[in-house]
Amino acid sequence: MSRPLVLCAFVLSVLVVGSLTASAGNTVDRRTHRVSGVVRASDGTPLPGVTVSLFLPDGSHSLSVSSQSDGSFVLDSPSTDLSTLRARLIGYEDLTVEDLFDDDSETASNRRKTLDIAMKRASGWDLEAQRTGDHLLDMLEWDSERDALNFRMMCTYCHQVGTIGFRSPEEPVDWEVMLTRMDGFAGLYEHTQEVLVDKIYRTYGREAEEEWAPFVAPPPPSGADLEATVAEWTLGLESEAKIHDLEVGADGVIYTVDMSSDAILTLDPATGDREVYTIPGGKPFGSDIERTKGPHSIEMDTDGNMWLTLALSGEMAFFDTKNKTYRVFPGHEAPRPRGGYPHTLRFAQNGDLWWTDAALGVFSLDPASWNADTGRYDVTFYELPDKDQVRGGGSRGESRGVTPYGIDVAPNGHVWYSKLNGQRVGRVAPELPHDHPEKVVEWKPPVHGPRRLHVAPDGLVWVPGFASGDIASFEPGTEEWAVYPLPKGTAALPYALNIHPETGDIWICGTGTDSMLRFDPKTKTFAEYRMPTRVTYTREIEFDSEGNVWTTNSNIPVRHVENQMGSVIRISVPSPD
C-alpha cells in the first residue's frame, strides 16, 4: 500500500458512521447541554469502555467520557458548539455523528439527546490503524534485554515508535537518513547502529506491514478505568507544534512552552482563547526562520509569574504574566559558546529556583538577586558525583554522558534530581557546607531510565523507569526501594510522574500507550485512562486547584499525531469517598 493510500484509509476510518437512532431526553439541566445513551455492538450486546467524545466542528476542542459496564454514557457540555460526536473503541470502527444539536426540538439553552449507538467490528486497515504505540514497539526483536533498553532509551524520547507517521519513509535510504538524525546523542551501541536501519525496515516497512500477524484488540477498559472525563484543546501550528511542558497559572490560564515556536502559548479553558508570546530574540511565530531559544520547562513563582529554561540557547527566562514581558538571562558562566542545556525547573519552599542542566549539572538562583546592571542573578552551581561515587547497586552507568534531568524539592528542603543516562537519583542538601561529604549524594535506582521524579509529602521519592516500564519509591531514611511494574510493561515509556496534592495518588504519563495512569500507593493498584487522540505522547503532569490533572500531547514530530496538532489535556476523576 503506497503512502497516499495509507493516509487516505486512516482518515476514512475516522469518519465511518454505523447505526444510530436519536430521541429527545426528559431530564432538564439548565446549566449544561446533555448527550446520553447506550453503546452496543451490532448484535445488541452493551459495550463498556467506549470513548465517547463531543468535538467542536473544527476539532480544536473535545470532551470525552467512557461508556460504563452496561454501555451507558452521559456527556454534559457547556455549549452546543460541541456538536460532533465520535464513539471509539479499539477493535471497532469509529462512529461519527455531525451537527448533533442542529434541530429545533428543544430550546437552545436546554438541548438534550439520548442516543442508541451500534458499533461495527473493525477489520482490514480500519483495525490495523488502531494498533497503539506499545503494541508496535513490542514488535521489535532484540538479542538481549540490554540492547532493548538501549534502544528505548535513545530512540523513544521524542516520539512513539512504529505508528503510522513513524512509518512514513518508504525506501531503506530514507530510514537511514531518519535514524541517523534520531541518534543525535550518539547513545546507541555501535553494534545496534550497524543493524538498526535493516531492523526497522524489516519490522515497519511497507512489505513488513503485509506480513504482520492479525491485530487482536485488547480487552476494553473496565472498573476504575472508566471514571475519567477528558477535555482536550489543540494548541500551536499544525504539523509544527512542540508543546513540551505546561503550568497552571494563578489566573486559571494554562501556560505552555512551544519549543518549535520559541514562545509561550496560553489557553484559557473557560473561553477557549489562545495567545502567543514570543521570546525576545526567538523565531517569529509562524515564520520559516530557524528556532533559536527552544523553551523546555516552565514553572510559576509565588507571584504568579513564569520561569523558563531555554534549552537551545542555554539561557533562562522570566515572564511577567501581568505585563506580558520577558527577561532573558544566562543561567551560568557558559563553558562553551552555546552554554549548556537547561532542562527542568522547580521552586523550593524558600523561593529559590532550582534546575537541571542536561549538559552540566544542577543549579539554583535567588529570584531576589537580580542585578539590572549586569543582567544576571546570583547563580550557584552544584558539582555532581562521578559514576564511582554512588550508594548501592554498583557504579555502572548506561551510555555516554549522564544527562542531569528531572528535579524536585522535598518538604525538608532537600533537592532531588535524576541522571537519565547515568542511571542515578541524587540528593542535594542545601543547608550543608559545599565541602561536606553529604552535600550531594547519589544512588543507583532499580528502574532503568529515571526521568522526571517527584517527592511526596511524606518524603518518599517517586521515580519513573522510562525504559523499564515501571515506577519506584525510595525511602531516604532506610535507603530502601520498592518497584511497581506498569500494566503495559516495558513499552509504557513513563516519561514523568507527579503526586496529587489532595489524594496522594501517583499520576504517571503513559507516554507509549496513549494513556494516563493513576497509582494508589495504599492499595498498590493502577487505573489507566485512555486518551481520545491516537499517538498521545505526554511529558509533564500538573494539577489545578480543583484537583484536575493537566498534561500536554507533545509527540515530536507532531505530524505523527492523529490530527497533527499539539494539545493541552485535562483529566478529571471523581474524588475518593
Residue 85's φ and ψ, nearest 5 degrees, are: -105, 140
How does residue 168 score in pLDDT terms, banded at 50, 70 and 90? confident
26-35, 313-322, 463-472: least confident range: 26-35
pLDDT tens readout for residues 274-306: 999 999 999 999 999 999 999 999 999 999 999
Residue of 309, 312, 315, 418 whose CA lies nearest to 361: 418
* Whole-number pLDDT of residue 206: 85
pLDDT tens readout for residues 480-535: 999 999 999 999 999 999 999 999 999 999 999 999 999 999 999 999 999 999 99
DSSP 328: E
Distance (Å, rounded) from C-alpha 497 to C-alpha 464?
A: 7
**Across residues 31-49, what is the average pLDDT?**
93
Residue of 341, 336, 299 whose CA lies nearest to 319: 299
pLDDT tens readout for residues 123-164: 998 999 999 999 999 999 999 999 999 999 999 999 999 999
* Whole-number pLDDT of residue 17: 34
17-21, 150-154, 239-243: least confident range: 17-21
* Whole-number pLDDT of residue 29: 41
How does residue 108 score in pLDDT terms, banded at 50, 70 and 90? low
Residue boundaries of the structural domains of the chain: 3-128, 133-211, 243-382
- State the residue for C-alpha cell 489524594: 503
pLDDT tens readout for residues 184-221: 556 889 899 889 989 999 999 888 998 999 999 999 99
Average per-residue pLDDT in the chain? 89
Distance (Å, rounded) from C-alpha 245 to C-alpha 233?
A: 15
Higher-confidence position of 553 and 23? 553
How does residue 5 score in pLDDT terms, banded at 50, 70 and 90? very low
C-alpha cell at 163: 505508528
Domain 3-128 has CATH 2.60.40.1120: yes
* Whole-number pLDDT of residue 3: 32
DSSP 246: E
How does residue 111 score in pLDDT terms, banded at 50, 70 and 90? confident
**Across residues 252-256, what is the average pLDDT?**
98
Helix (H) or strand (E) holding 61: strand 61-66
Instruction: Determine what percent of the chain is predicted with pLDDT higher than 70.
Output: 88
How does residue 576 score in pLDDT terms, banded at 50, 70 and 90? confident
* DSSP code per residue over 439-458: SEEEE--SSSSB-B-EE-TT
Q: Domain 243-382 maps to which CATH number in 1.10.1660.10, 1.20.1250.20, 3.40.50.300, 2.130.10.10?
A: 2.130.10.10
pLDDT tens readout for residues 371-418: 999 999 999 999 898 866 766 655 444 444 589 999 999 999 999 999
Helix (H) or strand (E) holding 175: helix 172-182
Residue of 326, 365, 358 whose CA lies nearest to 344: 358
C-alpha cell at 375: 543582567
**Across residues 266-276, what is the average pLDDT?**
97
Is 2's pLDDT higher than 60?
A: no
Environment class of 385 (CB within 10 Å of its CB; exposed 0-12, middle 13-18, buried 19+): middle
C-alpha cell at 193: 547502529
* Whole-number pLDDT of residue 64: 98
